[in-house]
Structure 1
């Protein structure tokens, strides 16, 4: 039995006319009659009563019509689901990100994606940036949300949104009265920084300071940007943080722009280069706005 046998049978059962069924199927009547005869022979039952004037379903044909319709509906549902997965409209995506992204633009972008792709299950994995690349290469996650672009033979990055770095100062700090700062203005300050072994972004901030002519004097390190800002608010030092976090601490921390040459903390989606179809490209495209 082949799929066309079911389609031909259902068409004839619904039309009860070889002429109309053949027109509906875009075939001539002889092939239709042959397919129905083959189906009846394989089933060992007569499905239709044929006369010169009419075609009627037998009791066996009526029972078979229920099952045939169900099979075709299941196949159509499966076809639609496969197409939806291929188009990124259904499936599951595993996303790795650090805790600081929950405090910036990511939640709003994710809400936009969930609204446009309700058939995709999004699973978030909070992990340090240094662990995301290994998780991507091992296929434990599908996308990493990172402040460091990665482009090599396996991974590729897409900019999601820009995020310049600003200086974070404790309230009442002598530099807080200025409208803007240069990175070198912070050379004598104690710094609160992310741990360099946990974040490529942290290492980048250190190198930016070195390029500005000084090595930062690190007073305290942590693994989360929210903790960095809490320690700045407590007066333990100054910090270099993404501007998107500025709204979260209000008067507890003073944020100062660093000018046109400010370091960057832009947010990227990192994915495997072989993920060319399905949920991953669609997710990245919508998240990038």
Structure 2
């Protein structure tokens, strides 16, 4: 499929807009950095660019794209448009796993902490699904409500043990989605998350069929349980990688897939490129906004996205109520 076709022109435009935001992100920050200084061969300017700005920009793009895809995948697997990793306990469970590793093995390699976080994230998602099976659901809005309650419980448990161990500052670093400390050598794990998220695109047709329900998927010859398990494993790995590297980015996996689905429908293979580009662009835009609103101080991207995401979430809820009426 060639990009020159009319149907791909909007996607190309979105990609170019995201690329423009990425280039803008390279020029925004406390340290003065200009094209003139780079062209003149200023060693300090090139050091800031390669050691700080480029890693931060790549971290924004990779985390935004992968978390947006993870949100889309979770919505299709659970068959509810109002769930995502930060509203069903997946993110909080991953944070709990990181806290456990900090308490028991603080010197463990980052990849080990990520693996433990992924296991906890999968366990938290599994607990959410177990609760859904035992609670009679008369309204689809009960699903995100249960997820929010579970999220609050997991947050409370994590906060309690972090407070007792004097690790509240560490936990806050995970919950803010702050990329100010991202440097070269401290973001590369996100490439693994992006690769895992890419697996969701490769197997998109299977997940689309799984989203039709267990009976329909079985009638089409699909092993529904295995596909759902694969989907939850992808979501858990992506969540753990992002949390351990840049922290929690709330609502991203909720608002981006919903807005894309309103325009493109529920075909996952068609939606994934749009979700990835839109997620990356949204995170880049929020980060640029956070770095310019109170310059030279910085507002964490998680805070900016939390405000925007909560507003969009409310709009989606009200829209659903209006459509139901």
Q: TM-score range by the shorter chain?
A: under 0.3
Who wins on radius of gyration, i.e. which is larger?
1
Structure with greater proportional helix content: 2
TM-score, normalised via structure 1 length: 0.25
Question: Larger relative CO (CA 8 A, sep 6+): 1 or 2?
Answer: 2
Structure with greater proportional strand content: 1
